[in-house]
Amino acid sequence: MSKMWSISVPGSTANLGPGFDSVGLALGLYLKLDVTLQDEWQFVHHSSHLPVEIIVEDHLVYQVAQQVAQKFNVQLPACKVDMYSELPLARGLGSSASAIVAAIELVNIVCDLQLDEQAKCALSSEIEGHPDNAAASVCGGLVIGATLPNGELHLVNEKQVDAAFAVFIPNVELKTAEARKALPATYEKGYAVHASAYSNLLVAALLKQDYALAGQFMEADLFHEPFRAHLIPNYETIRTLARDHGAFGTSISGAGPTMISLIDSSKVDAFVEKMQQYLPDYTIKAAHVDTQGVQVTVQNG
């Protein structure tokens, strides 16, 4: 067998309520790619979570890989890419960001670009349009990110998150582009002041590991949830059920339609079991925090 690179990328949740486009957290649900060189490009999907139809030129991983190769002016050889995924598409678990991060890593290793973590975060965030999911998939743990008007990306990455999460994944998709159309173009000053104060408290509470406070502010978003709630099946029902069964707080995961609860690690398994009884049509899972971010291993044939 020839040389094979295995790329593992965690999925992620974005926003956690009011941290809109800025707060991301890597979750222990993975996209995996096995990459070998061959004469022509080929993608083989080994999971029901990946697109059924595969047209190489339309594949997100292929498109981003070509874009990155062009940017760095390198010749990208054709690859066979075997893909495995635990991340359902268009559900708010960062599937597109993980695919973008995987494509950047593919070019990085095959063309020996020697990109560091900051460069991978900057590039993936630029392609995704915001740093929340992308930087979490690169770094692992909790990230708070913002891009300055000069294009510089600044990140704070905290790996110490000693709580667990549970995801409520409905059997419907919601494309991020659609969910973004529901948002207002502007916010009135007093409203924006409150919204950013809630976001500041969310971040401060997460960094202090005060999860009761973090959960409270996960449910206090003013930036996007009030405008997206109607797109999310069982939005209020899930928040209420989760609160009544011990969750610190529940928010839309990314652009939805998945909801995510923050909960004490010791309670998460019983919580998931209970929630699954109430919502049998959902896939409800415990999701622990990934602290490693994107990883590559090499096998020489």
Ligand X SMILES: N[C@@H](CCO)C(=O)O
Question: Which of helix, strand or coil describes residue 148?
Answer: coil
Distances (CA, A) of 183 to 14, 15, 20: 16, 14, 11
The single residue among 23, 25, 99, 262 that binds ligand ATP, judged by CB under 6 A, is: 99
For 200, residues 6+ apart whose C-beta sits below 8 A from its C-beta are: none
243 binds ligand X (CB under 6 A): no
Candidates 279, 254, 98; CA nearest to 171 is 279
| # residues contacting ligand X (CB under 6 A) | 13
Question: Using CB under 6 A, which of the segments 92-100, 111-119, 224-232, 279-287 binds ligand ATP?
Answer: 92-100
Helical packing angle, 235-244 and 268-278, nearest 10°: 140
Residue nearest to ligand ATP (CB): 254
49 binds ligand X (CB under 6 A): no
Residue 162 identity (one-letter amino acid) = D
Least distance (Å) from ligand ATP to the CB of residue 175? 4
Question: Using CB under 6 A, which of the segments 17-25, 54-62, 155-163, 279-287 binds ligand ATP?
Answer: 54-62
For 296, residues 6+ apart whose C-beta sits below 8 A from its C-beta are: 5, 6, 7, 8, 105, 109
Could you give the CA distance from residue 226 to residue 209 in angstroms, rounded to a whole number? 26
Distances (CA, A) of 269 to 22, 214, 289: 29, 20, 15
33 binds ligand ATP (CB under 6 A): no
CB of 49 or CB of 130, closer to ligand X: 130
Binding pattern for the stretch 202-231 against ligand X, x by CB under 6 A and - elsewhere = ----------------------x-------
Q: Beta strand pairing status for 153-158 and 142-147?
A: antiparallel
The DSSP annotation for 151-165 comes to S-EEEEEE-----EE
14 binds ligand X (CB under 6 A): yes
Binding pattern for the stretch 122-161 against ligand X, x by CB under 6 A and - elsewhere = --------x-xx----------------------------
For the chain, helix (H) and strand (E) counts, in that order, are: 10, 11
Question: Using CB under 6 A, which of the segments 96-104, 117-125, 159-167, 236-244 binds ligand ATP?
Answer: 96-104
206 binds ligand ATP (CB under 6 A): no
Using CB under 6 A, list all residues that contact ligand ATP. Answer: 14, 31, 50-51, 59-61, 85, 89-97, 99, 133, 175-176, 254-255
Question: Applying CB under 6 A, which residues contact ligand X?
Answer: 14-15, 20-21, 130, 132-133, 176, 179-180, 224, 254-255
